[in-house]
Amino acid sequence: MSRRYEERFKQLGKLGKKAFIPFTLLGWPNREESLKMIKEMIECEASALELGIAFSDPVADGPVIQKAAYETIASGFSVHDAFELITEVRKLDGSIPIGILVYFNTVLAKGIGSFFSLAKESGVDGILIADLPAENAQEVLPAAETNGIDLIFLVSPVTTPNRLDIILSRASGFLYLVSRLGVTGTMERSTAKDLELRALVDKIRKRSRVPVCAGFGISSQADAERMFEIGVDGVITGSRVIQLAQSSSSCSSGVLKQYFKEMVGASARSNRYEHCDS
Amino acid sequence: MLTQGKFGAYGGIYVPETLMPALEELESAFLRSSKDPNFLREFRDLLENYAGRPTPLYHAKNLSKAWGGKIFLKREDLLHGGAHKTNNALGQGLLAKAMGKTRIIAETGAGQHGVACAMTGALLGLKTEIYMGEVDIARQQPNVYRMKLMGAQVHPVTTGSRTLKDAINEALRDWITNLQDTHYLLGTAAGPHPFPTLVKFFQQVIGDEAREQIMALRGSLPEYVVACVGGGSNAIGIFSAFLNDQSVQLIGVEPGGHGLNSGKHGAVLSKGTPGCLHGMKSRVLQTMDGQIEEAHSIAAGLDYPSVGPEHAYLQEIGRAKYESADDQEALAAFQELSCSEGIIPALESAHALAFVKRLCAGASSSPNVLINLSGRGDKDLAEVMKHVQTL
Ligand SMILES: Cc1ncc(COP(=O)(O)O)c(C=O)c1O
């Protein structure tokens, strides 16, 4: 298993901080800008990185990420290019945990064994396969173990208790809490629904020590704060990052920097919620 | 899940976590209902009195003479709605009711499945929303209008290739968001388990009837059973009754589009490779990186870059063979059935006919062939008129 997630969450815990994990698609809008954007994340002290490999049919993604994926594939940016880019990112920071978010067909097309070893060679710590339910984890488990890569799993508000047990028995790195039903995106959230998630987070806490990070529709400081309030260890934001990059001329412009700083700030202030995790 | 839904290495469940409870709920409803005499009685009743089953088996003598075979047509074109899709839509509609759902969503390519769902929604009082690629909306206008007439809402899909594949993506995204009150009424024997199994269950009536009818008519089994293959529901429906009859050759006909070497076709079983799309492992048309490629066919209902997992399996174990017919052959067969028998077939079904013409031409003695005439061609007139100017 990779130690980077474990160490990073331990560190944050000691400081009484939460994790801010920004997401972007590798190679979007092009190789250079993508690298700049990720560099910005690191410089703004993101806690970990979640990097997507573009897939033609991303059923868990909303319009923003779909469009970016479509553009990335159309530009000819390949899976090989994605791993090369990760290699460069790893050179920038030897200790930040790097997770990749992929769809299963991308893994199968390379072959499960080669995909995981390519990931390891490029410096990846965790792999989340969006359409591989925990029941089928055994298909990739040996490759993950051989290469010391954490398998990150999704948990949703509608996950049943016996499935939660299956997921928790396989999860490492962190657990990705799908914080609302639906696809990725930046639609309005419901405060009432968010607060209902607390019971789920508590249930996970009782059964597992794996850190819980919430994603799907988390865009603002307020969203993040509400998630910290219900006890999660970190937040993941994706569509908002891509939207901001779209609206600014260059990915290294001040807009993104300011956003990353705000979100990192919200995560650092989170020690007021410390009572939530024990 | 209580069952795996694997067909050899194919099938299974590969979906985002959020969909798992919906698939578990569907599986348990299906396991219960498929053994429940009341459910089965209601389904039968709708098939007979609403949809018009059994459909006839027709010995197409003129066509047989022209092509040199003994050709029997299973007349799903005469089913209410105009295609075999009605069987599955009614079955799953009842299942949706049994689960207490109030809304159904569906993808459609040719519009036949959309029409079948719109009918079912109107009949059973379920709010109905259909996802359809922009490209398909343009080439299947009459069906779009029929859906709306029966109260369904039609959402144009503008992502990706803007055809069936993308309509399925959108329907899955809707389902992920609304699974509490919504059933995704998938239209073909593909997708995550339990769909391939339950769609086959609702479509096997085609094969059961046809087998009985041909035995009554001829006293023996046909040598060949032939069906077109998009996702594979009409084919698996008719094959299912003959799987244990080793003397019967099962042949699925995929769309050859502009030709198998043109890069513009939908011949997934001839040209595809193993992969994972829309919740299942099957064969897919894909690049080296696993990006899904666009399929092409003149028949919107066959324009799909993957195929139901059971077909991938039947091909692998050699129980069924998969051939293809291209756009031109399908158009020719479309016209030949129309003028020889006065039956206008769906362009999808015309692919099965086109293959049979080739089969007869190459055979030394005239073969006995049962063809699943999966639908009627009224919906295709505008498309055909674009390609065939002079009659
Ligand atoms: C008349 C007809 N036949 C065949 C098909 C292909 O679907 P399947 O392979 O599931 O039978 C369609 C799909 O729209 C259709 O409308």
Percent of chain A with pLDDT over 70: 95
| Model-wide pTM > 0.90 | yes
Pairing mode, strands B6-7 and B368-373: unpaired
Q: Which residue has the tokens 């809490």?
A: A177
Q: How many Cβ atoms from other residues are within 10 Å of residue B366's Cβ?
A: 14
pLDDT at position B11, please?
98
pLDDT at position A275, please?
46
CB contacts of B173 in chain A (<8 Å) are 59-60, 62, 182-183
pLDDT at position A277, please?
43
Nearest-CA distance B288 → chain A (Å):
7
CA angle centred on B87, ends B86 and B93, rounded to 5°: 80
Could you say which residues of chain B have pLDDT below 70? 391
CB pairs under 8 A between A and B: 111
pLDDT-based confidence at A186, cuts 50/70/90?
Answer: confident
pLDDT-based confidence at A272, cuts 50/70/90?
Answer: low
Domain A4-268 has what CATH class? Answer: alpha beta
Domain spans of chain A, in order of start: 4-268
For range A134-145, the mean pLDDT: 97
For range A238-243, the mean pLDDT: 94
Please return the burial class of A192, using the count of CB atoms within 10 Å of its CB with bins 0-12, 13-18 and 19+. Answer: exposed
Nearest-CA distance A31 → chain B (Å):
17
pLDDT (tens digit, 9 = 90+) per residue, A43-91?
999 999 999 999 999 999 999 999 999 999 999 999 999 999 999 999 9
Side chain identity, residue A226: R
The Cα B182–Cα B185 span in angstroms is 9
pLDDT at position B336, please?
98
Contact B172, B107 (CB under 8 A): no
Residues of B annotated as catalytic are: 85, 107, 374
Question: In chain B, at which residue ranges do the beta strands (DSSP E only) sit?
Answer: 6-7, 10-11, 57-59, 70-75, 103-108, 127-133, 153-157, 182-184, 224-228, 249-257, 273-277, 280-284, 320-326, 368-373
In chain A, the residue whose alpha carbon lies closest to the alpha carbon of B292 is A56
| pLDDT, averaged across chain A | 93
